[in-house]
Structure 1
Amino acid sequence: MLTLDKNQPFLLVDDIDVHYGPVQALFGVSLHVQAGEVVSVLGGNASGKSTTLKSVLGLVHPSRGRILLQGEPIHGLSSPDVIERGVASVPEGRRVFPEMSVYENLLMGAYPRRRQKDEIEHDLEEVFASFPRLAERRKQAAGTLSGGEQQMLALGRAWLRKGKLICIDEPSMGLSPKFVDLVYEVLFRWKAAGQTILLVEQNARIALELADRAYVLQHGHVILQGGATELAADPTVQKAYLGAA
């Protein structure tokens, strides 16, 4: 077991390349997330931001470089093994279990903690307080929910995992402005509670409001990085992602 320096990032992605067959998707991507920090990965379609997140989650494996979680390598692990080490995921497209009820979907998030029954019940009530719509629909099949309600469910399921790190992929995709606001209201509360978050997002404006730091990817390369406030003021980011003239 590696000794963890107190200054070691909670998550370190170090100079990774990723290929899909003969096609290279990431080129020497590096980023880090400190404990209690929210870091956003921004970029357009095919920029490599979702591939970066999938690499952290063990859904794809780098052909070069390394990924460390609390100082220990995870880049060769399967996705279940990564999750077992305390990583929770809110995947793109929600991926709820459509035939199962809202309540059953939430319990799936808590499955690794299934022996902590009292704590799970407390956390379920916390989720229902955050998302009253889920409380109203707790017996309803998840597949009958709207897209925004399914995103709430995916977030609640990840929260019940009580992960040390939550990886969130495109939480605003396909949602109305009202639901985007509801989702980010919860993410701001998570941040205030000290939750460590790695966020992939196309909506750069709201992502930079939430994040402490951010990385901008283009064609599989990190082209910009820095504090969220600094990047929000960067002319390149403003022009490409914030709609500035």
Structure 2
Amino acid sequence: MRILAKDTPFLLVENIDVHYGAVQALFGVSLYVQAGEVVSVLGGNASGKSTTLKSVLGLVTPSSGRIELEGRPIHRLAAPDVIDLGVASVPEGRRIFPEMSVLENLLMGAYPRRHEKEQIAKDLEEVFLSFPRLAERRKQAAGTLSGGEQQMLALGRAWLRRGKLICIDEPSMGLSPKFVDMVYEVLFRWKAAGQTILLVEQNARIALELADRAYVLQHGHVILKGSAADLAADPMVQKAYLGAA
């Protein structure tokens, strides 16, 4: 087990730049997440928030700066190696396996710990209790589920990974208010259970209700950061993201 110094964040993103060819997407982005914390990254389209998450997951390699997980550099690792270190992902667009059943999709999340048969069975039952619709449709092809049900499936799959850190990209995108409430009800339970979460979200209102702290990105720069309560009360955030006049 890696022993962290008292002041070492669980996840550290320090001064990263990211380029897509000649186009620079991130400019010196820094953030951190402590163990057991929920941190939200907010911003509009093309703000750089999803690129930040992809950098943590090893899907994008920063051109400069560093990323550490539990004090270990990960910014040069490929995505499978990052996942092997205990990171779970709920990607934008869900990325479920449409031809496979709901149950098969869920068990794919548990594959890295496939020898823990008893614990997987308990975790699977927990997922079905959290998302009764998945229990009802466990034998159904995942591609036939509604968008909200597919988001539930992606969350359940990540939970079965039992990651030390869960990275979630735009969980409310394209969902009806009813499904958004159902998804966030589960995320609030994960928070209460002490799960460490890095959340990228356009729905600033609900993200700030869930988060302990948050960062606001604009055009690849961090323009605001602080406690979720302070940012929710910030006039700039209220006007730009919370619909205040």
Is the TM value for this pair above 0.5? Answer: yes
AA matched with 1:233: A
Residue 211 of structure 1 is matched in structure 2 by 211
Q: 1:3: Cα distance to partner?
A: 6.6
Letter in 1 for 2:222: V
Aligned counterparts of 1:196 and 1:102: Cα–Cα separation in 2 = 25
CA distance in 2, matches of 1:3, 1:171: 32
Alignment-derived partner of residue 202 in structure 1? 202
- Could you say which residue in structure 2 is the equivalent of 1:113? 113
What residue in structure 2 maps to residue 190 of structure 1? 190
SS in 2 for 1:26: strand
- Which residue matches 2:34? 34
8 Å CA contact retained: 1:90, 1:167: yes
Distance in 2 (CA, whole Å) between partners of 1:39 and 1:118 is: 31
Matched with 2:178 is 178
| Residue in structure 2 matched with residue 14 of structure 1 by the alignment | 14
The reply to whether residue 140 of structure 1 matches residue 150 of structure 2 is no
Match of 2:233 in 1: 233
Cα distance in 2 for partners of 1:2, 1:19 equals 32
Alignment of 1:40-189 (within 5 A): 40-189=40-189
The TM-score with structure 2 as length reference comes to: 0.99
Distance 1:38 1:231 in 2: 14
Q: Summarize deviations over 1:90-121 as a string: whole Å, max 9, x none.
A: 00000100000000000000000000001100
Give the whole-Å Cα distance in 1 for the aligned partners of 2:89 and 2:167. Answer: 5
Q: How far apart are the structure 1 equivalents of 2:59 and 2:115? A: 27
Distance apart, 1:7 and its partner CA:
1.7
* 1:168-200 Cα deviation digits (max 9, x unpaired): 000000000000000000000000000000000
3-state SS in 2 of match to 1:139: coil
Q: Are 2:2 and 2:70, in contact at CA under 8 Å, matched by a contact in 1?
A: no
CA distance in structure 2 between the partners assigned to 1:106 and 1:42 by the alignment:
28
Residue aligned with 1:15, SS? strand
Q: Unaligned regions of 5+ residues in structure 2, if any?
A: none
| Identity, % of aligned positions | 86
Q: How many residue pairs get matched?
A: 245
- The alpha carbon displacement at 1:6 in A equals 2.1
What residue identity is the alignment partner of 1:87? V
Structure 2 letter corresponding to 1:117: K
* Inter-partner Cα distance in structure 1 for 2:6 and 2:81: 24
Maintained 8 Å contact 1:2/1:72: no
> Aligned equivalents of 1:49 and 1:241: distance in 2?
14
AA matched with 2:23: V
Compute the RMSD of aligned alpha carbons: 1.0
Q: How far did 1:166 drift?
A: 0.1
List per-residue Cα deviations over 1:131-176 (Å, max 9, x = no partner): 0000000000000000000000000000000000000000000000
Structure 1 residue 2, shift from structure 2 partner? 8.5
- State the secondary structure of the residue aligned to 1:123: helix
Give TM-score scaled by structure 1 length: 0.99
Residue 171 of structure 1 aligns with an amino acid whose one-letter code is P
